[in-house]
């Protein structure tokens, strides 16, 4: 028999299911989190639940917030179950469920962000954390720099009394706290972006500069933006998993989260207004976040981007099935060991080749059910962050880029919108309307895709890269993905 998740239902759950040991009525919000998705609830919210279970820092609970239409549905579903979430860790032979309760509420999702701005004027909120996706930071993908001409930024600069975007809300709230003589809150990005704290500072200060130069100076001088590295594979939840939760654990949860057992969080200790004692529950505080971050972005995220497109072109749906394919796995192994890892700087206490072995093991977990379409989405934002930096490093070193150019060619071929077998699929990318025509034109003129300069930047000017890209793309169209991967592995893709 199953029960709908709620506070009242907690006492009736089987004893092997974890649940809060603390009194949730004693929690007080100290962190406002924008972007309450699966990853946040499997990661930051779970770390805080661990801490609260130790009897610590109950004044650092989470208050959820969102700015998208989909956030309203999330809010309603979580409200219906008293803001509780079931997190299920999946690995072969071991499925572990626990209910977490570190969120105390979720602000109404309105047309503007007035509710967020009002909440952020409360001095009890000392940290704002963000998971708004890689594409949510209003940056130029080719340069990684803040784009003041982004439509969201332009609107909020002109309507700071009722901003609609995340950064408009942050600037409006910081201005109000400054004017009221209150200390600013710390802004902590938890998104997979190189130097995410610095990028967030540039976005907040950049918008502030469009409104009032003095406000921009205040943001840069007084507001803290710690860099962080976060890691846990957390796919979208499907109906089969909801059924599993109901039948195996007796829980009916509208928004359960299924994830791998591994998790990691590395943070700069830069919180002038205080922070929860997260080091007690496994968070690493270090001044070397950049080294951990670069390792993860290049090896893990770059690895995801590398296997997504060949697997997609071959009609493979699950990541673990892609890793079981000898050509896809061989491609990833060769690419990582020969072209990516050699250009990743040393990380304190970490052997990079052992780290890659761990990554490959995690990718191969059949129980997590991670999908190739998830890895393949939003390539126009992910390629410049996860693949092209490795390409640029090798080009600057005068090294060969056969494998990395093949990754870009595979992405181009994927953007054409059909598998090798001719099956059409939708391209899940905010720039799909221009990517697909460019990819189709590149079948006869490969330069047509490289002319997307906001993505490729100066890499498109490299004759060595263009030659490798053209050769790989021609092979993909002429002979297909399997033959092209085999040529790469044989060293005959030229």
Once rounded to an integer, what is the mean pLDDT over residues 208-236?
A: 97
Q: Which of 70-84, 127-141, 254-268 has the lowest mean pLDDT?
A: 127-141
pLDDT one-digit tens code per residue, 269-296: 999 999 999 999 999 999 999 999 999 9
Domain boundary among 240, 260, 287: 287
Average of per-residue pLDDT values in the chain: 96
Range of the domain at 435: 290-490
* Res 419 pLDDT > 70: yes
Question: Do residues 184 and 160 both lie within one domain?
Answer: yes
Closest C-alpha among 305, 270, 103, 258 to residue 196: 270
pLDDT recorded at residue 142 = 59
* Res 141 pLDDT > 70: no
Question: Do residues 300 and 203 both lie within one domain?
Answer: no
Question: Do residues 399 and 331 both lie within one domain?
Answer: yes
* Res 140 pLDDT > 80: no
**Percent of the chain beyond pLDDT 90?**
95
Q: Hunting for tokens 């591994």 — which residue is that?
A: 262
Q: Between 304 and 381, name the one with better pLDDT.
A: 304
Question: Do residues 399 and 435 both lie within one domain?
Answer: yes
* Residue 193 binned pLDDT confidence (cut-offs 50, 70, 90): confident
Question: Do residues 85 and 188 both lie within one domain?
Answer: yes
* Residue 93 binned pLDDT confidence (cut-offs 50, 70, 90): confident
State the pTM of this model: 0.90
pLDDT one-digit tens code per residue, 291-334: 999 999 999 999 999 999 999 999 999 999 999 999 999 999 99
Which tokens is 384 given? 């410049």
Instruction: Count how many domains the chain has.
Output: 2
Question: Do residues 402 and 267 both lie within one domain?
Answer: no
* Res 351 pLDDT > 90: yes
Torsion, CA 438, CA 443, CA 446, CA 449, rounded to 10: 20
Question: Do residues 97 and 161 both lie within one domain?
Answer: yes
* Res 435 pLDDT > 80: yes
User: What is residue 345's DSSP assignment?
Assistant: P
Distance of CA 237 to CAs 111, 178, 476, Å?
27, 41, 33
pLDDT one-digit tens code per residue, 40-60: 999 999 999 999 999 999 999
pLDDT recorded at residue 194 = 83
Cα separation, 183 vs 123, whole angstroms = 8
Q: Between 145 and 245, name the one with better pLDDT.
A: 245
Q: How many CA atoms lie within 13 A of 370 on its CB side?
A: 28
User: What is residue 418's DSSP assignment?
Assistant: B
Count the neighbouring beta carbons within 10 Å of the beta carbon of residue 16.
9
Domain boundary among 264, 287, 310: 287
Question: Do residues 280 and 297 both lie within one domain?
Answer: no
Question: Do residues 415 and 277 both lie within one domain?
Answer: no
Question: Do residues 192 and 112 both lie within one domain?
Answer: yes
Question: Do residues 359 and 275 both lie within one domain?
Answer: no
* Res 89 pLDDT > 80: yes
Domain boundary among 252, 287, 322: 287
Q: Residue 250: left if φ>0, alpha if ψ -120 to 50, beta else—which one?
A: left
* Res 394 pLDDT > 90: yes
* Res 64 pLDDT > 90: yes
pLDDT recorded at residue 233 = 95
| 139: β partners | 146
Question: Do residues 247 and 326 both lie within one domain?
Answer: no
* CB contact burial 414-449 (16+ within 10 A = b; e otherwise): bbbbebbeeeeeebebebbeebbebbbebbeebebb
* Residue 478 binned pLDDT confidence (cut-offs 50, 70, 90): very high
Once rounded to an integer, what is the mean pLDDT over residues 365-375?
A: 94
pLDDT recorded at residue 135 = 81
Looking at residue 86, which CATH number applies to its domain?
A: 3.40.50.720
Closest C-alpha among 153, 15, 36, 16 to residue 84: 36
Looking at residue 454, which CATH number applies to its domain?
A: 1.10.1040.10
């Amino acid at each position: 028999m199953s029960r709908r998740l709620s506070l009242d239902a907690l006492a009736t759950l089987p004893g092997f299911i974890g649940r809060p040991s603390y009194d949730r009525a004693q929690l007080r919000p100290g962190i406002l989190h924008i972007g309450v998705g699966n990853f946040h609830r499997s990661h930051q919210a779970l770390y805080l639940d661990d801490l609260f279970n130790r009897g610590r820092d109950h004044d650092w609970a989470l208050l959820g917030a969102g700015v998208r239409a989909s956030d309203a549905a999330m809010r309603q579903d979580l409200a219906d179950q008293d803001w509780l979430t079931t997190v299920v860790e999946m690995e072969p032979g071991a499925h572990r469920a626990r209910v977490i309760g570190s969120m105390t509420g979720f602000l109404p999702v309105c047309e503007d962000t007035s509710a967020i701005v009002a909440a952020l004027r409360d001095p009890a909120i000392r940290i704002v954390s963000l998971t708004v996706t890689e594409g949510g930071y209003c940056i130029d993908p080719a340069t990684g720099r803040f784009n003041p001409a982004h439509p969201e930024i332009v609107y909020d600069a002109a309507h700071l009394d009722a901003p609609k975007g995340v950064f408009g809300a942050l600037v409006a709230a910081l201005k109000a706290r400054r004017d009221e003589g209150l200390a600013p809150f710390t802004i902590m990005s938890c998104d997979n972006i190189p130097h995410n704290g610095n990028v967030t500072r540039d976005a907040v200060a950049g918008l502030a500069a469009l409104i009032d130069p003095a406000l921009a100076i205040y943001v840069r001088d007084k507001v803290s933006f710690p860099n962080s590295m976060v890691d846990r594979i957390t796919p979208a939840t499907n109906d089969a998993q909801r059924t599993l939760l109901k039948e195996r654990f007796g829980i009916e949860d509208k928004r359960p989260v299924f994830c791998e057992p591994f998790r990691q969080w590395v943070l700069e200790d830069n919180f002038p207004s205080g922070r929860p004692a997260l080091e007690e529950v496994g968070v690493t505080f270090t001044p070397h976040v950049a080294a951990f971050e670069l390792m993860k972005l290049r090896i893990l995220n770059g690895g995801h981007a590398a296997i997504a497109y060949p697997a997609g072109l071959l009609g493979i749906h699950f990541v673990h099935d892609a890793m079981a394919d000898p050509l896809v796995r061989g491609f990833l192994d060769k690419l990582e060991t020969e072209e990516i890892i050699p250009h990743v700087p040393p990380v304190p206490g970490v052997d990079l080749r052992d780290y890659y072995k761990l990554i490959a093991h995690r990718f191969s977990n059949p129980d997590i059910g991670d999908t190739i379409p998830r890895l393949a989405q939003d390539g126009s934002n992910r390629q410049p962050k996860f693949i092209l930096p490795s390409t640029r490093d090798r080009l600057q070193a005068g090294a060969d880029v056969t494998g990395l150019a093949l990754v870009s060619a595979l992405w181009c071929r994927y953007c054409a919108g059909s598998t090798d077998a001719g099956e059409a699929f939708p391209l899940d990318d905010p720039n799909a309307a221009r990517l697909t025509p460019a990819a189709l034109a590149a079948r006869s003129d490969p330069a047509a895709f490289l002319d997307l300069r906001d993505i490729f930047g100066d890499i498109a000017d490299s004759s060595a890269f263009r030659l490798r890209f053209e050769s790989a793309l021609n092979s993909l169209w002429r002979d297909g993905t399997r033959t092209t991967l085999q040529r790469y592995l044989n060293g005959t893709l030229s």
